[in-house]
Amino acid sequence: MHTNTAVMRSLAIIVIIAFTAWTITGRLHQLKINPCCVKVSTAKVKEPIIGYTLQRENLPCIRAVV
């Protein structure tokens, strides 16, 4: 009887860990941030420009000045 209880506890812990990992992985996929610009803006820059970087086109990234 003691063995059945230990097995059930182990299974419960495995299920909880698997569910937690699955939930975290799903949320990280939704929160994915592109490491580059994928669209441009035509807004006027109001702050002084203190530096810039040229980004080359490499889909999904576009050619841009960052």
**pLDDT confidence tier of residue 33, bands split at 50, 70 and 90:** low
Average pLDDT over residues 23-50: 76
29 pLDDT above the threshold of 70: no
Q: For residues 23 and 30, what is the distance between their CA atoms, to the nearest angstrom?
A: 11
Residue 61 — φ and ψ, nearest 5°?
-70, 145
- Contact partners, residue 54, CB within 8 Å, separation at least 6: 64, 65, 66
Residue 19 is predicted with a pLDDT of 78
Average pLDDT across the chain, whole number = 80
Enter the pTM of the model: 0.42
Q: Taking the mean position of all CA atoms in its chain, how far away is CA 58?
A: 20
% the chain with pLDDT above 70: 80
